[in-house]
Structure 1
Amino acid sequence: MRGESGDMKTSLDTFFNPKSVAVVGASTTPGKLGYVAVENLIRLGYPGKIFPVNPKAKEIQGLKAYPNVKDIPEPVDVGLVLVPAEAVVGVVKDLAEKGVKHTVIIAGGFSEVDEKGAKMQQEIVEIGRKYGMRIIGPNTTGIVSIPGRFSTTFFKVDYNPGPAAYIAQTGNFASITFRWIVTRENFGISRIIGLGNKCDVDDADALEYLESDPETKVIAMYIEGLKDGRRFVEVARRVSKKKPILALKSGRTPAGSKAAMSHTASLAADDAILDAALKQAGVIRVNNYMDLVNYTKAFV
């Protein structure tokens, strides 16, 4: 689903600086995912247009709501999908037919769960390929873009700009780290990218985007497994010459590897092989979560 030009900056930039977003599964109930997602956009001062989509609501947090994404009378840059797993394929198809080229899928219940989920995920991949849509997820909290004042997460997000970017496969881990950094460690963030099951956008794509991102000076990563190890090393080797990359690898023990696999459909690479690959790529590997935070803080 990568663009023909191979220009990752152009291909992914809309995720971080969209002019409009459709929040499919927006809710009128405070505390629910679909409510918090809209609330975050408003709190951050997102300058684009927000289109809540909910067939049972006429208005959500002061914004006109639409029964279906196809009812939105204007172009949509990003589709934020907050519906349950069994409804996701239909929503992604609607977004694709609407002409949406960038989609973030929050729900779990896909290849990380069982064969039925893997089949649904493959359907999503095929829709993306057919329509030229880039997809983050499924099974993630998606992204936070502080410079773009944009977020897809259902964790509370406040505006706190800084030069550190963070990539994680597990969306919850990305969001928890974000909250810890901006509250306890008191340094700002440029981008948070929770990749989830990586049905399309993966670690190498994210690194390649951040390579030319002027808002990012240091990149921290929490790695559970690599979708394309060879490409990751190739990209990381190039990026690490421009910006430091710090990495914490989950699943260093057999039990940890099993947990990583079950959580995000990760293929946990042999630790010794991964360690050699990271060294070859110029990536600084850290041993624990606090080292990841402290090393990042040192480079900020």
Structure 2
Amino acid sequence: MTESLLPFFSPRGVAIVGASADPTKLGYGVARNLIQSQYKGAIHLINPKGGTIMGHAVSASLAEVPDPVDLAVLIVPAAATPAALADCGARGIRAAIVMAGGFREIGPAGAALEDEILRIARENQIRILGPNCIGLLDTHYPLDATFLPPPLPAPGDIGFLSHSGAFCAAVIDWSRQQGFSFSRLVSLGNQADITETDLLALMAADEHTRVLAMYIESLPDGNRFIEEARKVSAQKPIVALKVGRSASGRRAAASHTGALAGADAAYESAFEKAGILRADTAEELFEWSRALAWLPLPTGRRMAVLTDAGGPGVMAADFIETHG
């Protein structure tokens, strides 16, 4: 299972299907980011119109692309995605990032289309990240397969898995202001195939990742997640921000990625069993992650508070006891 995911993080060649020379198009943003990230592998840009983008020749189809090509980034409309995936299969590509929205998150018609691309992927042994995602990046490889505004973040030590692409974009901007960065960042989208559980072990095995941070809207397989997260948290800390606590939040999550978010108490119990630290805000998520990445883990539960004022000391004592 983990081996089938390796092309997402260490591809020898990347094909961008739907690359564009128009700076206003997302297909341009993905091509620009991959080129400017100093990615060392082969870069293949695909568009029926041909031409060049930033000095790189554009091929009319995947069939024209020479080896190596391990990963395809599909930045085409939802309706064109099934054919694009079939082309990947014919070319022997076994990993694809599907960026388009318009699938399960929009209702029954979109769900049927998502089922169709999953069927094509399985027939061709293709692993899919997405759909409805912004891609991924690895600051150490380096590889930027997103359409986010450049530049690629500086090499960091926090691995980040997120169900929200917009949240990824926001925290990258915030991280630049706060002075921390990421080792790997993955936008999961609808998780038609690859889920956060699938990626836990691979993220933890990365030598540059010292802590895992997660933005979670739902867990498709809670029991499997607990089992995998428990193994990972014994090696590296996991901090999670679980949204959709309220009925309104769960409805919002469903309209966002098609997620079905369960009762909050169940997640609280699951995180405790898995050894996951649950943050209540985005600030906590990354403040805790930074601390765990940069400071040695405590060897026990005994703590001392050194303070020059009584009030903050009382607050610290309350917080320490509340959290065991």
Matched residue, 2:163: 169
Q: Report how far residue 159 of structure 1 moved.
A: 4.3
Deviations 1:207-254 (A, max 9, x none): 121121111110000000011111100000110011000000111111
Which of residues 136, 141, 145 in structure 1 aligns to 2:134? 141
Distance 1:92 1:48 in 2: 22
Deviation of the 1:296 alpha carbon: 1.1
Q: How many Å apart are 1:175 and its aligned residue?
A: 2.6
CA distance in 2, matches of 1:12, 1:53: 23
Question: Residue 112 of structure 1 aligns to a residue in which SS?
Answer: helix
Q: Hey, what does 2:286 align to over in structure 1?
A: 293
Superposition deviation, residue 57 in structure 1: 2.8
Following TM superposition, the consecutive aligned residue runs of length 4 or more in structure 1 with deviations greater than 4 angstroms are none
1:151 paired to 2:144 = yes
Moved more, 208-217 or 19-28: 208-217
Give distance in 1, aligned partners of 2:66 and 2:201.
Answer: 34
Q: Does 2:17 match 1:24?
A: yes
Instruction: Calculate the TM-score normalised by the size of structure 1.
Output: 0.95
Letter in structure 1 aligned against 2:204? E
Q: For the residues of structure 2 that align with 1:234 and 1:178, how far apart are their CA atoms?
A: 30
RMSD of aligned Cα (Å): 1.1
Asked if residue 197 in structure 1 is aligned to residue 198 in structure 2, the reply is: no
Structure 1 counterpart of 2:158, which letter? A
Instruction: Report if the CA contact (8 A) 2:42-2:68 is conserved.
Output: no
* Structure 2 residue ranges without an equivalent (≥5): 294-324
Measured after TM superposition, the shift of residue 30 of structure 1 is 1.3
Q: Contact 2:49 / 2:60 at 8 angstroms: preserved in 1?
A: yes
Q: How far 1:133 sits from its partner (Å)?
A: 1.0
Secondary structure of 1:237's match?
helix
Matched, 1:281 2:274: yes
**Matched AA of 2:141:** G
Tell me which residue corresponds to 1:180. Answer: 174
SS in 2 for 1:79: strand
| Percent of aligned pairs sharing the same letter | 38
Is 1:244 the counterpart of 2:246 in the alignment?
no
User: What is the deviation of 1:195?
Assistant: 0.6
Report 1:29-178 matches (<5 A).
29-156=22-149, 157-178=151-172
- Amino acid corresponding to residue 70 of structure 2 in structure 1: D
Deviation at 1:161, TM superposition (A): 0.5
Instruction: Give the one of 212, 222, 227 matched to 1:229.
Output: 222
Partner letter of residue 172 of structure 1? A
Larger RCO (CA within 8 A; separation ≥ 6)? 1
Q: How many residues align?
A: 292
**Amino acid aligned to 1:233:** I
